[in-house]
């Protein structure tokens, strides 16, 4: 499986017939949709309603017909924008998708959808635990450190994508604690750089991680796992 990073919290998991985007914040991050190979995009997972995560979900879904997965409030919002191929879940719920089982996990954060001057209610923010291509992948979404993460230790997670930028989410110190709780085999930092208040160097995180492989991906970089 190929994991491609598009900056911030946007990842594509490419497993041949299955191509999954998580939090596809692209154009706002200077990445044009035309520049991506999304012809066979099959699924989009959205962790919460903030624009740097909901991102280009609507355009990508309308272009590709990919199944969009999120909480029920965000799915209802997306349906009002014309999306038909959707699946709503709630925290602790899991579902067997065509590629494998996915569990929605807790996140400590907000989820409002900003539309003009309005803030629409976006339900609870979340993370996802995905079984795909024989691997267990955890995308934490935007979250603070929580003791709930200790529950993930039993999952034997192969790769954990964790926010490290601080201010809006865990910082490096808290992400290190999260690794102690989760005990993943590998970790990929996310939610840093390019925005005010989270402009930190992921290498400062990587050098402090012990006993777990850290994969620092820069924008548009990929890794085969």
Residue 56 interacts, among Ni ion, Mn ion, none and using kind-specific CB cut-offs from 5 to 8 Å, with: none
What is the total count of residues that contact Ni ion (CB under 5 A)?
2
Smaller CB separation from Mn ion, 53 or 103: 53
* CA-to-CA separations, 220 to 6, 42, 66, 217, in angstroms, rounded: 5, 19, 21, 8
Site for Ni ion in 141-200 (CB under 5 A): 142
Smaller CB separation from Mn ion, 142 or 174: 142
User: Smallest distance from the beta carbon of 161 to Ni ion, in angstroms?
Assistant: 14
Pairing of strands 222-224, 2-5: antiparallel
Helix (H) or strand (E) holding 159: strand 159-163
User: Smallest distance from the beta carbon of 202 to Mn ion, in angstroms?
Assistant: 16
Residues engaged in binding Mn ion (CB under 5 A): 52, 142
Q: How far is CA 8 from the centre of its chain?
A: 9
* CA-to-CA separations, 13 to 64, 81, 117, 212, in angstroms, rounded: 16, 25, 34, 21
User: Smallest distance from the beta carbon of 211 to Mn ion, in angstroms?
Assistant: 28
Smaller CB separation from Ni ion, 142 or 174: 142
CA–CA distance, 49 with 69 (Å, rounded to integer): 12
3-class SS of residue 188 = strand
User: Smallest distance from the beta carbon of 65 to Mn ion, in angstroms?
Assistant: 26
Smaller CB separation from Mn ion, 179 or 198: 198
Site for Ni ion in 60-89 (CB under 5 A): none
50 binds Ni ion (CB under 5 A): yes
User: Smallest distance from the beta carbon of 48 to Mn ion, in angstroms?
Assistant: 8
Cβ(130)–Cβ(19) below 8 Å: no
| Site of interaction with Ni ion (CB under 5 A) | 50, 142
């Amino acid at each position: 499986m190929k994991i491609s990073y598009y900056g911030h919290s946007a990842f594509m998991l490419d497993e041949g017939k299955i191509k999954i985007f998580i939090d596809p914040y692209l154009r706002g991050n200077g990445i044009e949709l035309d520049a991506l190979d999304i012809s066979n995009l099959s699924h989009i997972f959205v962790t919460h309603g903030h624009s740097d995560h909901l991102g280009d979900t609507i355009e990508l879904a309308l272009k590709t017909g990919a199944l969009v997965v999120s909480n029920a409030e965000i799915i209802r919002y997306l349906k009002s924008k014309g999306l038909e191929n959707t699946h709503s879940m709630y925290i602790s719920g899991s579902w067997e998708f065509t590629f494998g089982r996915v569990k929605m996990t807790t996140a400590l954060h907000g989820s409002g959808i900003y539309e003009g001057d309005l803030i629409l209610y976006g339900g609870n923010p979340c993370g996802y635990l995905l079984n795909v291509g024989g691997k267990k992948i955890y995308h934490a979404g935007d979250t603070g450190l929580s003791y709930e993460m200790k529950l993930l230790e039993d999952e034997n997670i192969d790769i954990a994508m964790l926010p490290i930028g601080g201010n809006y989410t865990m910082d490096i110190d808290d992400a290190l604690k999260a690794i102690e709780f989760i005990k993943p085999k590998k970790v990929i930092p996310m939610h840093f750089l390019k925005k005010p208040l989270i402009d930190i160097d992921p290498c400062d995180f990587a050098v402090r991680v012990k006993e777990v492989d850290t994969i620092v991906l820069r924008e548009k970089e990929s890794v085969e796992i």
